[in-house]
Amino acid sequence: MKIGVLKETRKNEKRVAITPKIAKDFINKGFEILVEKDAGLASAYDDASYKDAGAKVVSKDEIFHDSDVIVKINPLDDSEIAKLKAGQVVISMVYHRLQPELVQKIAKKGVSLFSMDAIPRISRAQNMDVLSSQSNLAGYKAVILGADYMTKIFPLMMTAAGTITPAKVLIYGVGVAGLQAIATAKRLGAVVEATDVRPETKEQAESLGAKFISVEAETDDISEGGYAKEQSEEFLQKQKEAVNKSLFDADLVVTTALVQGAKAPVLIKEDQIKQMKRGAVIVDMAVEKGGNVELSEPDKIVEKYGVTIIGQTNLPSTLATNASELYAKNLYNFITFMADNEHFHFDMEEEITKHTLLVKDGEVLVGS
């Protein structure tokens, strides 16, 4: 089976789906690896490193002509979809709930399509979970990015000129990204608080040294498949009231809240930003999915009411070498679970397959 690795076409995307090390692992399993020229260059992997691993470096057209499986990080664009051949297997992140028309376009080419962002959050799929591996890095980078724009340092510092008190950091959302943001801010010496709609995250936040801000919920039905579910306006108002004191005292705020398959909830509104400290910084990690912060803008840094709001999209790409390593390993675990070096095993009763296989030989399975 020949696996073709495409160069990413999304603007400012530096990651690559398979690294030279993972290419070698695939080759040792009997697969052939074809890599588009310069596909790994932005991740610090040159073509020579792929050749040394035993992969072939070829043109984009050769990838589509010769590959049985085509892998990518981001969804295929229209020019790539046009090159697909019936019978091929495509594996990437798809975000099919947000763009169902993309699934239909790919299905018309008679291929099979797996979505890496649809990996179920079950124990045996943990080593395939790209959302977790990429969010982990993003949570770290969000704190580092926020630190760059703060006018204060994180740790307590005692000097001959006086004592500097530690910075106060507030994290919205205690998922993978939030937990890494807590850990990073604590390591840097900040006083950290965190909040989440899921009460089961309290223990996790506190284990990393954060104070957890609880929100009283009238229902237990607040999480689904490892993600927070969309909440009512009443609940969000309660959360706002519970968190406001910490928000107004914070030097850095990181928001990570996402709802699977839906627009991100707005957690910080303009009237709250007006009451924050001058010089405070907000990093909105959900800006690409609509944003947790009312005034954030994708890929822009704006200052409103003396508060700097960072709307950096695709944070994992800013750590492209590590992000590519983790994605590639997730992909290796996924493909070697789903297939041998000759063909895929389409077991429709198997849970990982049911969640990730969106199209089989041109037939759309989403919702079936």
Q: Based on the structure, what is the number of domains in the chain?
A: 2
Task: Looking at the structure, tell me whether residues 72 and 98 fall in a common domain.
Answer: yes
Residue 295 in any domain: the answer is yes
Task: Looking at the structure, tell me whether residues 9 and 119 fall in a common domain.
Answer: yes
Task: Looking at the structure, tell me whether residues 233 and 344 fall in a common domain.
Answer: no
Task: Looking at the structure, tell me whether residues 284 and 342 fall in a common domain.
Answer: no
Segments forming the whole domain that contains residue 95: 2-128+320-361
Residue 135 in any domain: the answer is no
For residue 226, give the amino acid letter: G
Paired with 195 in beta bridges are 172, 213
What are the residue numbers of the active site?
121, 126, 129, 132, 227
Residue 134 in any domain: the answer is no
Task: Looking at the structure, tell me whether residues 117 and 156 fall in a common domain.
Answer: no
CA distances from 365 to 355, 359, 360 (A): 10, 5, 7
What CATH number is associated with residue 287?
Answer: 3.40.50.720
Task: Looking at the structure, tell me whether residues 209 and 230 fall in a common domain.
Answer: yes
pLDDT at 260: 72
Residue 133 in any domain: the answer is no
pLDDT at 259: 82
pLDDT at 82: 97
pTM: 0.91
Task: Looking at the structure, tell me whether residues 108 and 240 fall in a common domain.
Answer: no
Beta pairing class for 2-5 and 69-71 = parallel
Residue 62 in any domain: the answer is yes
Residue 140 in any domain: the answer is no
For all residues of the chain together, what is the average pLDDT? Answer: 93
Residue 80 in any domain: the answer is yes
Asked if 319 contacts 88 with a C-beta cutoff of 8 angstroms, the reply is no
Phi, psi (rounded to 5 degrees) for 357? -80, 105
Q: For 266-291, what is each residue's pLDDT tens digit? A: 999 999 999 999 999 999 999 999 99
Task: Looking at the structure, tell me whether residues 161 and 288 fall in a common domain.
Answer: yes
pLDDT at 367: 60
Residue 308 in any domain: the answer is yes
Q: Split the chain (368 residues) into runs of 10 and give each run's mean pLDDT.
A: 97 97 98 98 98 98 98 97 97 91 96 95 95 97 98 96 97 97 98 93 96 72 54 72 93 92 89 97 96 96 97 97 98 97 92 96 83
Q: For 172-225, what is each residue's pLDDT tens digit? A: 999 999 999 999 999 999 999 999 988 999 999 999 999 999 876 554 445 555
